[in-house]
């Protein structure tokens, strides 16, 4: 077997959450800044990066400062509201694919820019915890995606080499990070993540079941 480790992004890969995050930001902007709408074409460039990079884009585009703790707290409150209203939208066929990959001997980790509590809540509430040996947040490294640090450190903690790792990503910045880490990248074409540029990925899939054919 050429590969032994699979590193999964979470938002837009394990769950179709980006539209929910967009709606949570719109609620936050409406409540705190009187701005009713965030352009999806603007928002999609925040996909796959940490809150700090999201803040910079919103300040540049809308002239608002979302760095204060109050704004961050309101956003996470609204995100929790949306998730409670709509539930976690687990990617179709994901449980059967994770089970199949585990049965083939792959070690798996979540390697996401999301906060650790968000990652933990997702895998716990969806019953997917048993499939992942490691839950890794990009907040633990100095440089987030598109830098390779998140994936390199996650692989290191699993005692796996980059050339034996496969990264599953739905976002442009995530693909850039995977390739910068010298890892094989499979781009998941998720309509809910916008028209992301995944051309640098080694393979592209539209259905998670395709992973069982590729790996």
pLDDT of residue 45: 85
pLDDT tens per residue, range 166-194? 999 999 999 999 999 999 999 999 988 88
Higher model confidence: residue 120 or residue 48? 120
Same domain, 191 and 96: yes
Which of the listed residues 86, 107, 135 is the one where a domain comes to its end?
86
pTM of this structure: 0.84
What is the total count of domains within the chain? 2
Rounded percentage of the chain residues whose pLDDT exceeds 90: 80
> Rounded mean pLDDT of 190-211?
93
Q: Which domain holds residue 94?
A: 5-16+90-214
Same domain, 134 and 161: yes
The answer to whether 197 is a known catalytic residue is no
- Choose among 50, 86, 51: nearest CA to 68: 51
> Rounded mean pLDDT of 110-134?
95
Same domain, 41 and 146: no
Which of the listed residues 30, 52, 86 is the one where a domain comes to its end?
86
How far is residue 95's CA from residue 151's CA, in Å, rounded to a whole number? 22
Q: Which of 9, 16, 65, 202 is flagged as catalytic?
A: 9
Same domain, 148 and 49: no
The answer to whether 115 is a known catalytic residue is no
How far is residue 49's CA from residue 53's CA, in Å, rounded to a whole number? 6
pLDDT of residue 44: 84
Q: Which of 4, 11, 149, 163 is flagged as catalytic?
A: 11
Same domain, 100 and 75: no
Same domain, 78 and 25: yes
Question: Domain holding 108: CATH number?
Answer: 3.40.50.1000
pLDDT of residue 51: 84
> Rounded mean pLDDT of 43-65?
88
Is residue 47 predicted with pLDDT exceeding 90?
no
């Amino acid at each position: 077997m050429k590969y032994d480790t699979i590193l999964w992004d979470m938002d837009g890969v394990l769950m179709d959450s980006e539209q929910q995050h967009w709606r949570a930001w719109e609620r936050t902007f409406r409540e705190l800044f009187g701005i009713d709408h965030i352009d999806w074409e603007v928002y999609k460039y925040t996909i796959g990066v940490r809150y700090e990079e999201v803040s910079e884009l919103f300040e540049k585009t809308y002239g608002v400062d979302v760095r204060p703790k109050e704004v961050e707290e309101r956003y996470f409150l609204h995100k929790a509201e949306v998730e409670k209203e709509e539930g976690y939208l687990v990617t179709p066929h994901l449980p059967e694919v994770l089970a199949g990959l585990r049965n083939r001997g792959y070690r798996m980790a979540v390697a996401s820019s999301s906060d650790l509590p968000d990652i933990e809540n997702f895998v716990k509430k969806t019953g997917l915890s048993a499939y992942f040996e490691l839950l890794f947040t990009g907040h633990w490294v100095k440089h987030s995606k598109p830098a390779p640090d998140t994936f390199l450190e996650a692989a290191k903690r699993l005692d796996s080499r980059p050339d034996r790792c496969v990264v599953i990503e739905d976002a442009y910045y995530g693909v850039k990070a995977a390739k910068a880490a010298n890892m094989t990248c499979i781009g998941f074409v998720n309509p809910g993540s916008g028209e992301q540029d995944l051309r640098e990925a080694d393979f592209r899939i539209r259905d998670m079941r395709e992973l069982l054919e590729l790996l």
